[in-house]
Amino acid sequence: MSPGTKVMASNIATRVEWLQRFGGTDLEDLCVATETAIVDGNGFGWLKPPPRDILESYWRGVLLVPERELVAARLDGTIVGSGQLVRPAANNEAQAPVATLTTFFIAPLARGHGLARSMLMAIVTRAGERGFESLELTVRETQTAAIALYESCGFTRWATKRKYAKVNGAWVTGFYYARDIEPMRTVQPELRAAAAR
């Protein structure tokens, strides 16, 4: 499904879109979704929800960083998940063809509608449009649904780190994944360079 496409399933509208700014209740919705994901153990680093002002500042900051693009999943118009496509710093010429996927999650109550897969494929597509040749991500071994999704979408585990994250006083193993991407040939080199800035 292409980004911005609406799908009706059991009278529930789903949508995946790239955010340039927050409108209406978007920031509130994203914070609520983030908090529920953190409580569920999928907090992309947070172990418990931070104070709301910290969370709001974090998400506002994401939209200000030129190297980051934020994709959001909506269920009946409400943001219920997100992911970020992160470009390497401009001074990192050696890794210029490699993008990173981070903060990828769907709130627990919004799962089962295909939003995670749609969002992941939107990120893969955008990475190709930006001229990237590889997309990398990391995930805790406890996030089995995410691992199954990544593997079913062509990501390959290339490394394991035993002491990846410490959760509730115990070390959790982390996995490193990558997927090769065919850069879109229609994107001119000067546009790729501009997108990387």
Residue 185 is predicted with a pLDDT of 58
What CATH number did the domain enclosing 79 receive? 3.40.630.30
| CB neighbour burial string for 17-30, b if at least 16 within 10 angstroms, e if fewer | bebeebeeebbebb
Q: What is the pLDDT along the chain (197 residues), one digit of tens a residue?
A: 444 544 444 578 999 999 999 999 999 999 999 999 999 887 678 889 999 999 999 999 999 999 999 999 999 999 999 999 999 998 889 999 999 999 999 999 999 999 999 999 999 999 999 999 999 999 999 999 999 999 999 999 999 999 999 988 999 999 999 999 988 855 445 444 544 44
**Domain housing 109:** 7-196
The domain tally of the chain equals 1
Residues 36, 142 contacting (CB under 8 angstroms)? no
Residues 157, 176 contacting (CB under 8 angstroms)? yes
Asked whether residue 1 is assigned to any structural domain, the reply reads no
End-to-end CA distance of the chain: 28
- E strands along 37-140, which residues? 68-75, 78-86, 98-106, 134-140
Residue 131 is predicted with a pLDDT of 94
Residue 10 is predicted with a pLDDT of 56
What pairs with residue 70 in β-bridges? 19, 84
Residue 43 is predicted with a pLDDT of 66
**What is the dihedral sign for C-alpha 120, 126, 128, 133?**
negative
Asked whether residue 2 is assigned to any structural domain, the reply reads no
Residue 4 is predicted with a pLDDT of 52
Residues 77, 13 contacting (CB under 8 angstroms)? yes
Residues 81, 72 contacting (CB under 8 angstroms)? yes
Asked whether residue 66 is assigned to any structural domain, the reply reads yes
Residues 86, 99 contacting (CB under 8 angstroms)? yes
Asked whether residue 103 is assigned to any structural domain, the reply reads yes
Residues 129, 94 contacting (CB under 8 angstroms)? no
